[in-house]
Structure 1
């Protein structure tokens, strides 16, 4: 016999409920979940009937959580955290050669060396299942906070992760944003010489969307030098797209050094800004994940892989002209 509790604690209903909170849009949430909007509405109504109160209110087109919705959000998060913690504790005693490892990578990150490692690792541990996916920065943090992913790989810039003490951060390599230009800036004759951020002004520029990580990094540097960040007419989230578009037009742009190295035939002038635009590319994971043998082995294997030959050395070897 089903009870109200059975209806409320349906894992599917609670998952849909939490996704709707993240999106605050039935349309976006249903697209992310891969279901129709009526199906999502039905699941939310199912919980509301069980608790006897509306979970969401609406002002105009904007959704908001009611008091009952806020309370149910806490309960749902606590429930999923309890289940995930229990699963992790059970898996801590499992064999390092079996199970599943989930890794999220920032979609704009140069990942060819990581892919090279994955090929080598999967051959060594054929019974391990690896879920590798690329996503936005926001989605990576969201899944990490919800314990839906084991490890994320991305550049860091003063992230405000709730409960930082619960996470472990390992820097993999130091990258930097390189200025790619059609011009000989400030008399610089050698690409190894540096320029200032002010030297980039006055030239047409294509950039990253304003909410992208690299865009925020650049905006911060312009502000620190008391300069106004140039506006752009064209934006790309992909560094490779920026580089290719800049080369075929009269636009300049900023691209990570790691991406520049994957395009050795690029004809633009490469300029460094010294320490101004350094980026630490890191992996981040929950502390308790390191107690799980297969995840600990994966992290240590990747670190040994890079210790044997550095990230940039591998890139240089792979993309020699």
Structure 2
């Protein structure tokens, strides 16, 4: 038997001769697109016009595919084309192969272009990120092809997702008080501050003035409704009180809105961040004051150092 070496390659293994189709040269992305276009129209003339090639060129590409496969892909009944069983199998394979090729090309383009691609962001669940969303609306108008997915997590889960590359960056409070042994590779991270924040005590006390600063000793006998112990502000408040003093906390609530409502409906005090208070001050009836022992902390972007090698990530931080 004679073999057309334009379509087949011959491999000699000892005394054996193996003849294999040259699918590496025949099954190109171009030929697969031609094949699928012909399926769409089931007409060589129309398909060739859409593809911008001549009808003989399209016919040649289809014949090359059929030589590579070893079976006819199209049959003809009168003037109408139809897909053979081999053609139906090839259609499924062509769609999958082109999807993979397009996906790889898209990934490469996204990795090398500043105005395309996807960024996944995790936000600390107790953090009010209103300023970030304002920036995101402006950024999205300027770079509409950069897409985002955003979700909320506690601190431990945020670090886990950063460590395992499930998110590109986190928006959280720094300095972070999570125990170092609970996270991995912390030294491999960088951060960029978004804005400074501080703790605001919301109190029922009638002997204080709004916006003024008082020593923590003025609030030692108060009852509190607070966040759960693993939220950022709770251990921070314990730090301000000192080791000898403890919060008298009948109720702990994870929702800031519900925590404030509980405080307003009882005689309990509570505390929130300045950023949250500024965004909701018209809805809050309690008196806001500050503690003289407190220190500022920051809302910050946190990301693995290698992330800035991705142009869209670098561009986002630059735009910020």
Classify the TM-score, shorter chain: 0.5 to 0.7
Cα shift readout 1:64-94 (whole Å, capped 9, x = no counterpart): xxxxxxxxxxxxxxxxxxxxxxxxx967851
Matched with 1:167 is 189
Cα shift readout 1:198-241 (whole Å, capped 9, x = no counterpart): 21121221011112221111112222xx4322231211122222
Task: Report matched runs for 1:211-222 at 5 Å.
Answer: 211-222=230-241
Matched with 1:297 is 315
Partner of 2:147: helix, strand, or coil? strand
- Looking at structure 2, the residues matched to 158 and 203 of structure 1 have their Cα atoms a distance apart, in angstroms, of 25
Cα RMSD after superposing both structures:
2.3
Matched with 1:235 is 252
Cα deviation for residue 177 of structure 1 reads 1.0
Q: Is 1:184–2:177 an aligned residue pair?
A: no
Aligned length: 211
- Looking at structure 2, the residues matched to 210 and 113 of structure 1 have their Cα atoms a distance apart, in angstroms, of 26
Cα deviation for residue 184 of structure 1 reads 2.9
Partner of 1:221: helix, strand, or coil? helix
Alignment CA distance shift 1:196-1:275 (3 Å): closer
- Looking at structure 2, the residues matched to 297 and 275 of structure 1 have their Cα atoms a distance apart, in angstroms, of 38
Cα deviation for residue 99 of structure 1 reads 1.1
Matched with 2:93 is none
Matched with 1:257 is 274
Structure 2 gap segments, 5+ residues each: 1-106
Cα shift readout 1:151-183 (whole Å, capped 9, x = no counterpart): 100012344353343211112211111111111
TM-score, with structure 2 as normaliser: 0.61
Asked whether the equivalents of residues 91 and 292 of structure 1 are also in contact (C-alpha less than 8 Å), the reply is no
TM-score, with structure 1 as normaliser: 0.61
- Looking at structure 1, the residues matched to 108 and 293 of structure 2 have their Cα atoms a distance apart, in angstroms, of 45
Alignment CA distance shift 1:92-1:231 (3 Å): same
Q: Is 1:135–2:135 an aligned residue pair?
A: no
Cα deviation for residue 263 of structure 1 reads 1.8
Which of 134-143 and 261-270 deviates more?
261-270
Task: Report matched runs for 1:80-119 at 5 Å.
Answer: 94-119=112-137
Displaced runs of 4+ in structure 1, greater than 3 A?
Answer: 89-93, 161-165
Asked whether the equivalents of residues 238 and 247 of structure 2 are also in contact (C-alpha less than 8 Å), the reply is no
